[in-house]
Amino acid sequence: MAAIFIHLSDIHFGQEKDGGQYKTNTDAKERLMDDVHSELMARGAKASGIIVTGDIAYSAQPEEYIAAGIWLDQLAERVGCDRESIQMVPGNHDIDRAAITPALAWKIDAIRKEGESLLDAFLDDDKDRESLFTRFSAYRDFAEAYGCDLDSQGEYSADHSVELAPGRSLRFVRLNSALICSKRDTVGSLILGARQRVIPEEGGEEVVVLMHHPLHWFMDTIEARKYIESRARVVISGHEHFPSLNVSTVEADCDLMMLAAGATAPDDVGEKYTYKYNILEFDWDPLSDALAVTINPRTWDDSHKRFSKDHEFLAGTHGQHVLASPNFRRAVRPALSDAKPASEAEAPKVSAIVNPISGTGKAEIDITARDRTLRLRFFRDLNEAQRLKILIDLADLPPDVSQKLDHTLERAFFARILTKGRGKELAAAIEKALSNAEGTR
CATH number at residue 231: 3.60.21.10
**236 and 373 co-located in one domain:** no
Residue 362 lies in a domain: no
> So what's the pLDDT on residue 363?
39
Distance CA 362, CA 427 (A): 24
> So what's the pLDDT on residue 340?
60
Residue 76 lies in a domain: yes
**190 and 279 co-located in one domain:** yes
Residue 431 lies in a domain: yes
**426 and 338 co-located in one domain:** no
Residue 356 lies in a domain: no
C-beta separation of 6 from 351 below 8 A: no
> pTM, whole model, 2 decimals?
0.90
Name beta bridge partners: 283. 292
**122 and 175 co-located in one domain:** yes
**124 and 257 co-located in one domain:** yes
> So what's the pLDDT on residue 361?
43
Domain hosting residue 122, numbered range? 3-351
**48 and 76 co-located in one domain:** yes
**109 and 169 co-located in one domain:** yes
> So what's the pLDDT on residue 144?
87
* Each residue's pLDDT expressed in tens, for the chain with a length of 441 residues: 799 999 999 999 999 888 999 999 999 999 999 999 999 999 999 999 999 999 999 999 999 999 999 999 999 999 999 988 999 999 999 999 999 999 999 999 999 999 999 999 998 888 888 888 899 999 999 998 898 888 656 665 567 899 999 999 999 999 999 999 998 899 999 999 988 888 888 999 999 999 999 999 999 999 999 999 989 999 999 999 999 999 999 999 999 999 999 999 998 887 789 999 999 999 999 999 999 999 999 999 999 999 999 988 887 667 889 999 999 999 999 887 666 655 555 789 888 775 444 444 443 445 577 788 888 999 999 988 899 889 988 987 777 766 667 777 888 888 889 888 888 999 999 999 988 876 665
Residue 360 lies in a domain: no
**160 and 103 co-located in one domain:** yes
> So what's the pLDDT on residue 360?
44
Task: Tell me how many domains the chain contains.
Answer: 2
Residue 53 lies in a domain: yes
**280 and 402 co-located in one domain:** no
β pairing state of 49-53 and 86-89:
parallel
C-beta separation of 296 from 278 below 8 A: yes
**215 and 324 co-located in one domain:** yes
Distance CA 75, CA 88 (A): 15
Work out the angle at residue 410's Cα, subtended by the Cα atoms of residues 405 and 415, and round it to the nearest 5 degrees: 155
Name beta bridge partners: 251. 254
**341 and 387 co-located in one domain:** no
Residue 433 lies in a domain: yes
Distance CA 165, CA 153 (A): 34
**273 and 373 co-located in one domain:** no
Residue 21 lies in a domain: yes
